[in-house]
Amino acid sequence: MAKSTANGLTGRKALLARGSLWNFVLKLISVVLLFYAELLVAGALGLAEYDLWATAVSWLTILAVLAALGMNTLVVRQLPAFISTGARVRARSVLRWTSRRMGLAALVLGALLLLGRHRLSGQGGELAPVLLVIALMLPFQVLLLHSEAALRGFSRPLLSQVPQLLLRPLLFVVLLGAALQVGFRWTAERVAVAALISLLFSWLFAWARLRSVVGQELGQGVPQSPDPAWRKLVAQLFGLQLAGVLVAQADPAMLYALAPSGQAGIYAVAGRLAMFLSFAQVAVNVVLAPLMSSLHATGARAELQQHLRRAARGIALFTLPALVVMWWTGPWLLSLFGPGFEEGERTLRWLICGRGFAALSGAVSLLLVMCGHQGVALRILLVTAVGKLLANLLLMPLWGAEGAAMATVGMLALSNGWAWLEVRRRLGFDPSVLTVLRSAVH
Protein backbone atom coordinates (compact mmCIF):
# COMPACT_ATOMS: atom_id res chain seq x y z
CA MET A 1 0.00 0.00 0.00
CA ALA A 2 2.79 2.39 0.96
CA LYS A 3 4.63 1.53 -2.24
CA SER A 4 1.50 2.22 -4.29
CA THR A 5 1.05 5.58 -2.58
CA ALA A 6 4.68 6.49 -3.19
CA ASN A 7 4.39 5.54 -6.83
CA GLY A 8 1.26 7.67 -7.13
CA LEU A 9 3.03 10.63 -5.57
CA THR A 10 6.03 10.22 -7.86
CA GLY A 11 3.73 9.93 -10.86
CA ARG A 12 1.88 13.11 -9.97
CA LYS A 13 5.18 14.96 -9.43
CA ALA A 14 6.30 13.86 -12.86
CA LEU A 15 2.93 14.85 -14.34
CA LEU A 16 3.13 18.31 -12.80
CA ALA A 17 6.74 18.84 -13.88
CA ARG A 18 6.25 17.49 -17.39
CA GLY A 19 2.92 19.20 -17.87
CA SER A 20 4.19 22.53 -16.58
CA LEU A 21 7.28 22.36 -18.82
CA TRP A 22 5.29 21.65 -21.97
CA ASN A 23 2.69 24.25 -21.02
CA PHE A 24 5.52 26.72 -20.54
CA VAL A 25 6.86 25.96 -24.02
CA LEU A 26 3.38 26.25 -25.52
CA LYS A 27 2.77 29.54 -23.73
CA LEU A 28 6.12 30.87 -24.95
CA ILE A 29 5.24 30.06 -28.56
CA SER A 30 1.80 31.59 -28.03
CA VAL A 31 3.22 34.79 -26.55
CA VAL A 32 5.54 35.22 -29.54
CA LEU A 33 2.67 34.65 -31.98
CA LEU A 34 0.31 36.97 -30.13
CA PHE A 35 2.95 39.67 -29.82
CA TYR A 36 3.66 39.48 -33.54
CA ALA A 37 -0.07 39.51 -34.30
CA GLU A 38 -0.58 42.62 -32.17
CA LEU A 39 2.34 44.32 -33.92
CA LEU A 40 0.78 43.54 -37.31
CA VAL A 41 -2.66 44.74 -36.24
CA ALA A 42 -1.42 47.92 -34.57
CA GLY A 43 0.83 48.74 -37.51
CA ALA A 44 -1.92 48.10 -40.05
CA LEU A 45 -4.66 49.97 -38.17
CA GLY A 46 -2.96 52.83 -36.35
CA LEU A 47 -3.93 53.94 -32.85
CA ALA A 48 -7.42 55.24 -33.73
CA GLU A 49 -8.58 52.03 -35.47
CA TYR A 50 -6.77 49.84 -32.96
CA ASP A 51 -8.82 51.58 -30.27
CA LEU A 52 -11.96 50.13 -31.89
CA TRP A 53 -10.44 46.66 -32.13
CA ALA A 54 -9.32 46.64 -28.49
CA THR A 55 -12.78 47.75 -27.35
CA ALA A 56 -14.46 45.03 -29.42
CA VAL A 57 -12.17 42.35 -27.97
CA SER A 58 -13.05 43.58 -24.50
CA TRP A 59 -16.75 43.13 -25.25
CA LEU A 60 -16.12 39.63 -26.63
CA THR A 61 -14.32 38.62 -23.44
CA ILE A 62 -17.03 40.02 -21.16
CA LEU A 63 -19.90 38.42 -23.07
CA ALA A 64 -18.12 35.07 -23.37
CA VAL A 65 -17.82 34.89 -19.58
CA LEU A 66 -21.48 35.87 -19.23
CA ALA A 67 -22.50 33.13 -21.67
CA ALA A 68 -20.27 30.53 -20.02
CA LEU A 69 -22.37 30.92 -16.85
CA GLY A 70 -19.49 29.59 -14.75
CA MET A 71 -20.06 26.15 -16.25
CA ASN A 72 -16.61 25.79 -17.77
CA THR A 73 -15.17 26.05 -14.25
CA LEU A 74 -17.73 23.49 -13.06
CA VAL A 75 -16.47 21.08 -15.73
CA VAL A 76 -12.82 21.54 -14.70
CA ARG A 77 -13.71 21.01 -11.06
CA GLN A 78 -16.19 18.11 -11.27
CA LEU A 79 -14.91 16.03 -14.19
CA PRO A 80 -11.63 14.84 -12.53
CA ALA A 81 -13.54 13.86 -9.39
CA PHE A 82 -16.12 11.87 -11.37
CA ILE A 83 -13.46 10.08 -13.42
CA SER A 84 -11.29 9.25 -10.40
CA THR A 85 -14.30 7.68 -8.62
CA GLY A 86 -15.51 5.80 -11.72
CA ALA A 87 -18.70 7.87 -12.08
CA ARG A 88 -18.59 7.89 -15.88
CA VAL A 89 -22.32 8.46 -16.33
CA ARG A 90 -22.16 11.56 -14.15
CA ALA A 91 -19.17 12.75 -16.17
CA ARG A 92 -21.21 12.46 -19.36
CA SER A 93 -24.09 14.25 -17.66
CA VAL A 94 -22.05 17.27 -16.64
CA LEU A 95 -20.58 17.57 -20.14
CA ARG A 96 -23.96 17.52 -21.86
CA TRP A 97 -25.71 19.74 -19.32
CA THR A 98 -23.05 22.45 -19.48
CA SER A 99 -22.49 22.44 -23.25
CA ARG A 100 -26.17 22.90 -24.06
CA ARG A 101 -26.68 25.77 -21.66
CA MET A 102 -23.47 27.55 -22.60
CA GLY A 103 -24.33 27.31 -26.30
CA LEU A 104 -27.86 28.64 -25.79
CA ALA A 105 -26.66 31.52 -23.62
CA ALA A 106 -24.07 32.46 -26.26
CA LEU A 107 -26.72 32.57 -28.98
CA VAL A 108 -28.98 34.79 -26.87
CA LEU A 109 -26.21 37.22 -25.92
CA GLY A 110 -24.92 37.28 -29.50
CA ALA A 111 -28.39 38.25 -30.71
CA LEU A 112 -28.64 40.99 -28.07
CA LEU A 113 -25.24 42.37 -29.08
CA LEU A 114 -26.33 42.33 -32.72
CA LEU A 115 -29.42 44.36 -31.86
CA GLY A 116 -27.68 46.76 -29.48
CA ARG A 117 -24.40 47.34 -31.33
CA HIS A 118 -25.32 50.85 -32.51
CA ARG A 119 -26.18 51.99 -28.99
CA LEU A 120 -22.88 50.65 -27.66
CA SER A 121 -21.00 52.42 -30.46
CA GLY A 122 -21.96 55.92 -29.36
CA GLN A 123 -22.55 58.86 -31.65
CA GLY A 124 -19.82 58.11 -34.19
CA GLY A 125 -20.98 54.56 -34.84
CA GLU A 126 -17.52 53.38 -35.93
CA LEU A 127 -17.63 50.48 -33.48
CA ALA A 128 -20.93 49.01 -34.75
CA PRO A 129 -19.55 47.02 -37.74
CA VAL A 130 -16.85 45.49 -35.55
CA LEU A 131 -19.39 44.50 -32.90
CA LEU A 132 -21.45 42.78 -35.60
CA VAL A 133 -18.55 40.40 -36.25
CA ILE A 134 -18.02 39.99 -32.50
CA ALA A 135 -21.66 38.87 -32.19
CA LEU A 136 -20.96 36.14 -34.75
CA MET A 137 -17.80 35.10 -32.90
CA LEU A 138 -19.46 34.77 -29.50
CA PRO A 139 -21.05 31.28 -29.85
CA PHE A 140 -17.82 29.78 -31.18
CA GLN A 141 -15.79 31.47 -28.44
CA VAL A 142 -18.03 30.00 -25.74
CA LEU A 143 -18.05 26.51 -27.26
CA LEU A 144 -14.25 26.67 -27.45
CA LEU A 145 -14.17 27.54 -23.74
CA HIS A 146 -16.29 24.46 -23.03
CA SER A 147 -14.07 22.17 -25.09
CA GLU A 148 -10.95 23.52 -23.37
CA ALA A 149 -12.49 23.02 -19.92
CA ALA A 150 -13.52 19.45 -20.75
CA LEU A 151 -10.06 18.55 -22.06
CA ARG A 152 -8.52 19.98 -18.88
CA GLY A 153 -10.96 17.93 -16.83
CA PHE A 154 -9.81 14.82 -18.69
CA SER A 155 -6.21 15.65 -17.64
CA ARG A 156 -5.22 16.82 -21.12
CA PRO A 157 -3.84 20.24 -20.11
CA LEU A 158 -1.52 20.60 -23.10
CA LEU A 159 -4.10 19.52 -25.66
CA SER A 160 -6.70 21.80 -24.08
CA GLN A 161 -4.56 24.86 -24.83
CA VAL A 162 -3.43 24.02 -28.36
CA PRO A 163 -6.54 25.48 -30.08
CA GLN A 164 -6.51 28.77 -28.17
CA LEU A 165 -2.79 29.33 -27.68
CA LEU A 166 -1.31 27.84 -30.85
CA LEU A 167 -3.76 27.26 -33.69
CA ARG A 168 -5.79 30.42 -33.27
CA PRO A 169 -2.93 32.96 -33.14
CA LEU A 170 -1.03 31.06 -35.85
CA LEU A 171 -3.97 31.18 -38.27
CA PHE A 172 -4.58 34.82 -37.37
CA VAL A 173 -0.96 35.76 -38.10
CA VAL A 174 -1.01 33.84 -41.40
CA LEU A 175 -4.18 35.63 -42.53
CA LEU A 176 -2.87 39.05 -41.51
CA GLY A 177 0.58 38.54 -43.00
CA ALA A 178 -0.66 37.11 -46.29
CA ALA A 179 -3.12 39.95 -46.79
CA LEU A 180 -0.51 42.59 -46.00
CA GLN A 181 1.86 41.03 -48.53
CA VAL A 182 -0.65 41.59 -51.35
CA GLY A 183 -1.38 45.15 -50.26
CA PHE A 184 -4.73 44.49 -48.57
CA ARG A 185 -5.97 47.44 -46.53
CA TRP A 186 -6.96 46.39 -43.05
CA THR A 187 -9.71 47.99 -40.96
CA ALA A 188 -10.90 47.02 -37.48
CA GLU A 189 -13.89 45.25 -39.06
CA ARG A 190 -11.69 43.22 -41.40
CA VAL A 191 -9.36 42.28 -38.57
CA ALA A 192 -12.41 41.00 -36.70
CA VAL A 193 -13.37 38.84 -39.70
CA ALA A 194 -9.86 37.34 -39.75
CA ALA A 195 -10.21 36.65 -36.03
CA LEU A 196 -13.56 34.95 -36.67
CA ILE A 197 -12.05 32.64 -39.29
CA SER A 198 -9.16 31.64 -37.02
CA LEU A 199 -11.57 31.09 -34.12
CA LEU A 200 -13.84 28.85 -36.20
CA PHE A 201 -11.01 26.54 -37.26
CA SER A 202 -9.65 26.41 -33.70
CA TRP A 203 -13.03 25.44 -32.29
CA LEU A 204 -13.47 22.69 -34.91
CA PHE A 205 -10.11 21.21 -33.89
CA ALA A 206 -10.98 21.34 -30.18
CA TRP A 207 -14.43 19.82 -30.77
CA ALA A 208 -12.98 16.93 -32.79
CA ARG A 209 -10.32 16.18 -30.19
CA LEU A 210 -12.86 16.29 -27.36
CA ARG A 211 -15.11 13.78 -29.12
CA SER A 212 -12.16 11.42 -29.42
CA VAL A 213 -11.17 11.82 -25.76
CA VAL A 214 -14.74 11.32 -24.53
CA GLY A 215 -14.94 8.07 -26.49
CA GLN A 216 -11.67 6.85 -24.99
CA GLU A 217 -12.37 7.87 -21.39
CA LEU A 218 -16.11 7.36 -20.98
CA GLY A 219 -17.10 4.89 -23.68
CA GLN A 220 -20.81 4.59 -24.40
CA GLY A 221 -23.49 5.57 -21.95
CA VAL A 222 -26.66 7.57 -21.43
CA PRO A 223 -26.23 10.76 -19.38
CA GLN A 224 -28.34 11.14 -16.24
CA SER A 225 -30.39 14.13 -15.18
CA PRO A 226 -28.23 16.92 -13.74
CA ASP A 227 -27.46 16.93 -10.05
CA PRO A 228 -29.51 19.71 -8.33
CA ALA A 229 -26.38 20.71 -6.40
CA TRP A 230 -24.75 21.75 -9.67
CA ARG A 231 -27.15 24.68 -10.05
CA LYS A 232 -26.11 26.29 -6.77
CA LEU A 233 -22.46 25.64 -7.50
CA VAL A 234 -22.78 27.11 -11.00
CA ALA A 235 -24.38 30.26 -9.58
CA GLN A 236 -21.35 30.80 -7.35
CA LEU A 237 -18.85 30.01 -10.10
CA PHE A 238 -20.68 32.31 -12.51
CA GLY A 239 -20.50 35.19 -10.05
CA LEU A 240 -16.83 34.42 -9.53
CA GLN A 241 -16.02 34.47 -13.25
CA LEU A 242 -18.14 37.54 -13.95
CA ALA A 243 -16.51 39.53 -11.17
CA GLY A 244 -13.12 38.36 -12.41
CA VAL A 245 -13.71 39.45 -15.98
CA LEU A 246 -15.11 42.82 -14.90
CA VAL A 247 -11.99 43.61 -12.91
CA ALA A 248 -9.57 42.23 -15.50
CA GLN A 249 -11.07 42.65 -18.97
CA ALA A 250 -13.61 45.50 -18.94
CA ASP A 251 -11.10 48.36 -18.90
CA PRO A 252 -10.82 48.96 -22.69
CA ALA A 253 -14.61 49.08 -23.05
CA MET A 254 -14.87 51.56 -20.16
CA LEU A 255 -11.98 53.67 -21.48
CA TYR A 256 -13.71 53.89 -24.87
CA ALA A 257 -16.69 55.48 -23.09
CA LEU A 258 -14.94 57.55 -20.39
CA ALA A 259 -11.55 58.64 -21.75
CA PRO A 260 -10.23 60.41 -24.86
CA SER A 261 -9.76 58.50 -28.11
CA GLY A 262 -6.77 56.18 -28.17
CA GLN A 263 -6.68 55.43 -24.45
CA ALA A 264 -8.40 52.04 -24.84
CA GLY A 265 -5.82 50.99 -27.43
CA ILE A 266 -2.89 52.16 -25.30
CA TYR A 267 -4.20 50.31 -22.26
CA ALA A 268 -4.88 47.15 -24.27
CA VAL A 269 -1.31 46.99 -25.57
CA ALA A 270 0.19 47.75 -22.14
CA GLY A 271 -2.09 45.16 -20.57
CA ARG A 272 -1.07 42.47 -23.03
CA LEU A 273 2.61 43.18 -22.45
CA ALA A 274 2.17 43.09 -18.66
CA MET A 275 0.31 39.78 -18.90
CA PHE A 276 3.64 38.24 -19.89
CA LEU A 277 4.38 38.21 -16.16
CA SER A 278 1.45 35.81 -15.67
CA PHE A 279 3.04 33.47 -18.19
CA ALA A 280 4.47 30.89 -15.77
CA GLN A 281 1.52 31.06 -13.39
CA VAL A 282 -1.00 30.28 -16.12
CA ALA A 283 1.14 27.44 -17.48
CA VAL A 284 1.40 25.85 -14.03
CA ASN A 285 -2.23 26.42 -13.02
CA VAL A 286 -3.58 24.58 -16.05
CA VAL A 287 -1.83 21.44 -14.83
CA LEU A 288 -2.33 22.12 -11.12
CA ALA A 289 -6.11 22.74 -11.12
CA PRO A 290 -7.23 19.11 -11.64
CA LEU A 291 -4.61 17.95 -9.11
CA MET A 292 -5.99 20.38 -6.53
CA SER A 293 -9.47 18.95 -6.92
CA SER A 294 -8.47 15.28 -6.76
CA LEU A 295 -5.89 15.62 -3.95
CA HIS A 296 -8.24 17.70 -1.81
CA ALA A 297 -11.02 15.15 -2.36
CA THR A 298 -8.75 12.32 -1.16
CA GLY A 299 -7.31 14.26 1.79
CA ALA A 300 -3.71 14.25 0.50
CA ARG A 301 -2.86 17.59 2.13
CA ALA A 302 0.90 17.10 2.45
CA GLU A 303 1.24 16.12 -1.18
CA LEU A 304 -0.84 19.09 -2.30
CA GLN A 305 1.37 21.51 -0.34
CA GLN A 306 4.44 19.95 -1.97
CA HIS A 307 2.96 20.58 -5.40
CA LEU A 308 2.07 24.16 -4.42
CA ARG A 309 5.63 24.81 -3.20
CA ARG A 310 7.12 23.35 -6.37
CA ALA A 311 4.76 25.45 -8.49
CA ALA A 312 5.61 28.62 -6.54
CA ARG A 313 9.33 28.00 -7.07
CA GLY A 314 8.91 27.64 -10.82
CA ILE A 315 6.71 30.73 -11.04
CA ALA A 316 9.20 32.84 -9.07
CA LEU A 317 12.17 31.69 -11.17
CA PHE A 318 10.43 33.04 -14.24
CA THR A 319 8.50 36.03 -12.90
CA LEU A 320 11.24 37.90 -11.00
CA PRO A 321 13.74 38.12 -13.91
CA ALA A 322 10.90 38.81 -16.35
CA LEU A 323 9.70 41.69 -14.18
CA VAL A 324 13.12 43.36 -14.31
CA VAL A 325 13.42 42.87 -18.07
CA MET A 326 9.91 44.19 -18.72
CA TRP A 327 10.51 47.23 -16.53
CA TRP A 328 13.57 48.32 -18.52
CA THR A 329 12.47 47.30 -22.02
CA GLY A 330 8.84 48.38 -21.71
CA PRO A 331 9.19 51.78 -23.41
CA TRP A 332 11.02 50.22 -26.36
CA LEU A 333 8.40 47.47 -26.69
CA LEU A 334 5.61 50.04 -26.74
CA SER A 335 7.34 52.02 -29.48
CA LEU A 336 7.26 48.95 -31.74
CA PHE A 337 3.48 49.23 -32.02
CA GLY A 338 3.63 52.58 -33.77
CA PRO A 339 3.16 56.30 -33.09
CA GLY A 340 1.12 57.14 -30.01
CA PHE A 341 1.60 53.87 -28.15
CA GLU A 342 4.75 55.10 -26.38
CA GLU A 343 2.45 57.24 -24.22
CA GLY A 344 1.62 54.06 -22.32
CA GLU A 345 4.99 53.81 -20.51
CA ARG A 346 3.64 54.76 -17.08
CA THR A 347 0.55 52.64 -17.68
CA LEU A 348 2.74 49.63 -18.45
CA ARG A 349 4.88 50.10 -15.36
CA TRP A 350 1.84 50.26 -13.10
CA LEU A 351 0.54 47.05 -14.65
CA ILE A 352 3.93 45.34 -14.34
CA CYS A 353 3.81 45.92 -10.58
CA GLY A 354 0.27 44.57 -10.30
CA ARG A 355 0.79 41.48 -12.46
CA GLY A 356 4.09 40.67 -10.77
CA PHE A 357 2.46 40.75 -7.34
CA ALA A 358 -0.44 38.58 -8.55
CA ALA A 359 1.88 35.96 -10.05
CA LEU A 360 4.04 35.71 -6.93
CA SER A 361 0.94 35.36 -4.74
CA GLY A 362 0.28 31.98 -6.36
CA ALA A 363 -2.99 30.34 -7.32
CA VAL A 364 -4.87 31.64 -4.28
CA SER A 365 -8.31 32.13 -5.85
CA LEU A 366 -8.03 28.91 -7.84
CA LEU A 367 -7.13 27.01 -4.67
CA LEU A 368 -10.20 28.34 -2.86
CA VAL A 369 -12.46 27.33 -5.74
CA MET A 370 -10.99 23.86 -6.26
CA CYS A 371 -11.10 23.08 -2.53
CA GLY A 372 -14.77 23.96 -2.03
CA HIS A 373 -14.53 27.58 -0.85
CA GLN A 374 -15.84 29.18 -4.02
CA GLY A 375 -18.23 31.28 -1.91
CA VAL A 376 -15.28 32.94 -0.19
CA ALA A 377 -13.53 33.53 -3.51
CA LEU A 378 -16.75 35.02 -4.88
CA ARG A 379 -17.08 37.41 -1.95
CA ILE A 380 -13.50 38.59 -2.43
CA LEU A 381 -13.93 39.18 -6.14
CA LEU A 382 -17.31 40.91 -5.77
CA VAL A 383 -15.90 43.39 -3.27
CA THR A 384 -12.82 44.07 -5.37
CA ALA A 385 -14.91 44.25 -8.57
CA VAL A 386 -17.15 46.95 -7.11
CA GLY A 387 -14.10 48.82 -5.84
CA LYS A 388 -12.38 48.51 -9.22
CA LEU A 389 -15.40 49.80 -11.15
CA LEU A 390 -15.77 52.76 -8.80
CA ALA A 391 -12.06 53.51 -9.10
CA ASN A 392 -12.36 53.33 -12.90
CA LEU A 393 -15.21 55.84 -12.88
CA LEU A 394 -13.09 58.20 -10.80
CA LEU A 395 -9.65 57.74 -12.37
CA MET A 396 -10.34 57.09 -16.06
CA PRO A 397 -11.76 60.56 -16.86
CA LEU A 398 -8.79 62.13 -15.05
CA TRP A 399 -5.84 60.05 -16.26
CA GLY A 400 -7.17 57.75 -18.95
CA ALA A 401 -5.18 54.54 -19.39
CA GLU A 402 -2.86 55.34 -16.49
CA GLY A 403 -5.84 55.82 -14.19
CA ALA A 404 -7.17 52.42 -15.26
CA ALA A 405 -3.78 50.88 -14.50
CA MET A 406 -3.74 52.44 -11.01
CA ALA A 407 -7.16 50.95 -10.31
CA THR A 408 -5.96 47.56 -11.59
CA VAL A 409 -2.94 47.54 -9.28
CA GLY A 410 -5.13 48.34 -6.29
CA MET A 411 -7.55 45.59 -7.25
CA LEU A 412 -4.82 42.97 -7.73
CA ALA A 413 -3.19 43.84 -4.40
CA LEU A 414 -6.49 43.67 -2.51
CA SER A 415 -7.88 40.53 -4.15
CA ASN A 416 -4.69 38.46 -4.03
CA GLY A 417 -3.72 39.59 -0.54
CA TRP A 418 -7.18 38.88 0.84
CA ALA A 419 -7.41 35.51 -0.93
CA TRP A 420 -3.97 34.52 0.42
CA LEU A 421 -5.13 35.24 3.98
CA GLU A 422 -8.28 33.16 3.44
CA VAL A 423 -6.29 30.24 2.03
CA ARG A 424 -4.00 30.31 5.05
CA ARG A 425 -6.89 30.56 7.51
CA ARG A 426 -9.32 28.07 5.96
CA LEU A 427 -7.06 25.54 4.24
CA GLY A 428 -3.67 25.96 5.90
CA PHE A 429 -1.83 26.03 2.56
CA ASP A 430 0.56 28.62 1.18
CA PRO A 431 0.82 28.75 -2.63
CA SER A 432 2.84 31.98 -2.71
CA VAL A 433 6.55 32.65 -3.11
CA LEU A 434 6.72 32.90 0.70
CA THR A 435 6.54 29.12 0.99
CA VAL A 436 9.70 28.88 -1.14
CA LEU A 437 11.50 31.39 1.07
CA ARG A 438 10.47 29.55 4.24
CA SER A 439 11.66 26.20 2.89
CA ALA A 440 15.00 27.78 1.89
CA VAL A 441 15.49 29.22 5.39
CA HIS A 442 14.65 25.95 7.13
Query: What confidence tens digit (pLDDT) does each residue in 60-101 have?
Result: 999 998 899 888 888 888 888 787 777 788 888 889 889 999
Look at residue 225 in the predicted model and tell me its pLDDT: 62
* Whole-number Å distance between alpha carbons of 40 and 217: 41
Q: Mean per-residue pLDDT for 385-411?
A: 94
Query: Has residue 203 got a pLDDT over 90?
Result: yes
- Residue 11's pLDDT band, with cuts at 50, 70 and 90, is low
Over 70: is that where the pLDDT of 420 sits? Answer: yes
Q: Say what the pLDDT of residue 124 is.
A: 74
pLDDT for the residue numbered 344: 95
φ, ψ dihedrals at 17, nearest 5°:
-65, -50
Q: Distance between CA atoms of 125 and 256, rounded to whole angstroms?
A: 12
Residue 12 has a pLDDT of 54
pLDDT at 168: 96
229-272 pLDDT tens trace: 777 777 777 777 777 777 677 899 999 989 998 999 999 999 99
Closest CA to 312 of 413, 439, 425, 427: 439
Res 56: pLDDT: 96
Q: Quick check: 258 and 397 in contact, CB under 8 A? A: yes
Contact 79, 153 (CB under 8 A): yes
Q: What is the pLDDT of residue 121?
A: 86
Tell me which of 409 and 229 has the higher pLDDT: 409
Nearest CA among 324, 273, 276 for reference residue 24? 276
Q: Indicate if the pLDDT at residue 400 is higher than 60.
A: yes
Residue 4's pLDDT is 46
Q: Indicate the pTM of the whole model.
A: 0.81
Domain tally for the chain? 1
Half-sphere exposure of 179 (CA within 13 A, CB side): 18
pLDDT band at 131 (very low <50, low <70, confident <90, very high): very high
Mean pLDDT of 31-54: 92
Q: How confident is the model at residue 19 (pLDDT cuts 50, 70, 90)?
A: low
CA distance 16 to 35: 27
Decide if pLDDT at 43 tops 50.
Answer: yes
pLDDT, averaged across the chain: 87
Residue 198's domain spans which residues? Answer: 2-441
